[in-house]
Amino acid sequence: MKKADVLDLIKYHYEKKEAEFRNQTLAIARDFDKAGDFQLTQYIMGLISQSDTFVPQTEDYGENLVPVRLDVTPLPLPNTIMNDLKGIINAINHNLGINKFLFIGSPGTGKTESAKQIARLLERELLMVDFNHLVDSKLGQTAKNITQLFHEINNLPFLKNYVILFDEIDTIALDRINQNDIREMGRVTSTFLKALDNLSSEAVIIATTNLYENLDKALVRRFDATIDFDRYSDDDKIEVAEVILNHFLKNFKSAARDMRLFKKIIKSAKSIPNPGDLKNIIRTSLAFSDAKEPFDYLKRFLKSMQNGKMPSIEKLHELGFTVREIEILTGISKSSVSRELNEANNE
């Protein structure tokens, strides 16, 4: 602890700046924690927790960081990706300075949800960088904002309690040698690289991108590990969809459960969507379904998987659906379905 810290503490007290006083108190406690004086650290934190004076209505994370709720819903991952995430957790727990991770992959592959899972398993709070506040149209201001952002990160009290998420980092880190890029963005990327080099070893950063090929290669090298989320087989996606449906069905007691038909609908699609998209389609199908019709959500799900169009009876038969399944999906009786199929075969 420095003399200046004590002077600032006294100044904030007499100026009645409660938020600044609390943050300075937390910073002092953090210094004692680093020095190994855990008893004094706990004493200071106890005083803070007991005094309403020191506790503002909202936590002060700075201007550029926003807390993220960790209300994680099921989004199972292939074993290859899951093993990589377990490795990240192990690396962080080993405290060897491996603390910067890049998640790449198409939209809906679970990059952001995985960041939430990692924060939850580490028992840390997830803070997301607010790019709307960070990026500025004024020349040079974005670079200054990045410098300020990393100052806020490095000076967070008890930095080990957080995971910092740069969701869609390509917003500020495009390739500096891309001829389509403007000089200002090159300056921003250079500033970001320097900030990463000076990042506290206690910080944990996860960045995500859908545009890996457009990222500056010097930036990619700054990360300790890059995890590719584009590693789902069709079987993986079907398994994910089944878990998601079972999760949502808990809130729809009147909805019928037919996993065989559900998986058949997924397989009928020309291209099975990524897990995030499947999750949205399943949730929307259930939300819009008629509670009086147990299979209505499957009809809506089929329509979504067929690009918004309900296939004809003949097309459903070509896709491998049985007469009974066609009856469920169309509401047309089995006898009528059979008659129409027979007429089509006789033509």
* CATH classification at residue 161: 3.40.50.300
Residues 95 and 114 in one domain: yes
Burial (Cβ within 10 Å: 0-12, 13-18, ≥19) of residue 58: exposed
Residues 173 and 266 in one domain: no
Q: Domain span at residue 100?
A: 65-228
Residues 320 and 224 in one domain: no
Domain final position from 228, 260, 293: 228
Q: Give the pLDDT band (50/70/90) at residue 305.
A: very high
Judge contact between 305 and 268, C-beta under 8 A: yes
Residues 94 and 222 in one domain: yes
Q: Is residue 56 scored above 50 in pLDDT?
A: no
- Cross-sheet strand order for the sheet of 225-228: 65-68, 125-129, 162-166, 205-209, 100-104, 225-228
Q: What is the pLDDT of residues 61-96, one digit of tens each?
A: 667 888 888 876 667 889 999 999 999 999 999 988
Q: Is residue 27 scored above 50 in pLDDT?
A: yes
Residues 86 and 163 in one domain: yes
55 or 332: whose pLDDT is higher?
332
Task: Give the three-state DSSP class for 256.
Answer: coil
Please state which of the ranges 27-36, 84-93, 242-251, 294-303 shows the lowest mean pLDDT: 27-36
Residues 90 and 177 in one domain: yes
Does residue 31 lie within any of the structural domains?
yes
pLDDT of 23:
73
Domain final position from 213, 228, 243: 228
Put simply, whether the predicted model's pTM sits higher than 0.85 gets the answer no
Does residue 40 lie within any of the structural domains?
yes
Residues 83 and 134 in one domain: yes
Residues 96 and 203 in one domain: yes
Angle at 131 between CA 220 and CA 163, to 5 degrees: 65
248 or 50: whose pLDDT is higher?
248
- Other C-beta atoms within 10 Å of 155: how many? 13
Residues 80 and 196 in one domain: yes
pLDDT of 72:
65
Split into its structural domains, the chain has a count of 3
Q: Give the pLDDT band (50/70/90) at residue 53.
A: very low
Q: Is residue 178 scored above 70 in pLDDT?
A: no
User: Which residue shows structure tokens 């979504």?
Assistant: 304
Residues 270 and 199 in one domain: no
Q: Is residue 175 scored above 50 in pLDDT?
A: no
Residues 212 and 117 in one domain: yes
Does residue 133 lie within any of the structural domains?
yes
| Encoded tokens for 142 | 């974005």
Does residue 60 lie within any of the structural domains?
no
Residues 16 and 131 in one domain: no
Does residue 59 lie within any of the structural domains?
no
Judge contact between 189 and 176, C-beta under 8 A: yes
234 or 14: whose pLDDT is higher?
234
pLDDT averaged over every residue in the chain: 85
Q: Is residue 240 scored above 50 in pLDDT?
A: yes
Of 199, 188, 193, the C-alpha closest to 222 is: 193
